[in-house]
Amino acid sequence: MTLRPILLAATFALAPLNATAAEPGVTHFPASPLPSGAAAPYSAAVRAGDTFYISGTTDRGGATPTESAQRVMDNIKRSVEARGLTMDDLVWVQVFSSNLADYDAFNAVYRTYFKGPLPARAYLGVDHLLGNSRFEVMGIAVRRAN
């Protein structure tokens, strides 16, 4: 009797729903379809070992810089939590801003999403963001040992 089929079956049973493994230790989490219904040309997140790479998300439609910051940070929080992590598991964040004058408003909101030490971060000014968004945020999170 061999244990190989049993271990293989257990591995598939523990795989996250809607995720695909491109290679051992790497799992891709598909992004939601585009408004047109077409498949998105990227993964919403990729897990490599205990590290999660969270794709950029935008605010799309906040009326003020504060509302836009809350919307984009809520999106990041949902994405991180969907992977079984918390915002405090983020170790690196990149913020793209279509108006550098929104820096203080963004930071006032951003700080409220973390309980522990803040992740390393870059805040970059850009000319234009998809959907006329104010902000796009992406990050890297690490699952911590319990």
8 A C-beta contact, residue 137 and residue 94: yes
Q: What does the pLDDT read at residue 10?
A: 30
pLDDT at 25: 86
What is the structure's pLDDT at 38? Answer: 87
Quickly tell me which residue has 């003020």 as its tokens: 64
- Using the Cα atoms of residue 38, residue 71, residue 128 and residue 139 in order, give the sign of their dihedral: negative
- What is the number of other CB atoms lying within 10 angstroms of the CB of residue 96? 20
Q: What are the residues whose beta carbons fall under 8 Å from the beta carbon of 4, sequence distance 6 or more?
A: none
| pLDDT tens for each residue of the chain, 146 residues long | 333 333 223 333 333 445 555 567 899 988 888 778 888 888 899 999 999 999 999 998 778 999 999 999 999 999 999 999 999 999 999 999 999 999 999 999 999 999 989 999 999 999 999 889 999 999 999 998 76
Predicted structure pTM score: 0.80
| Dihedral angle sign, alpha carbons of residues 116, 19, 79, 64 | positive
Q: Which domains does the chain have, with CATH numbers?
A: 51-146 (3.30.1330.40)
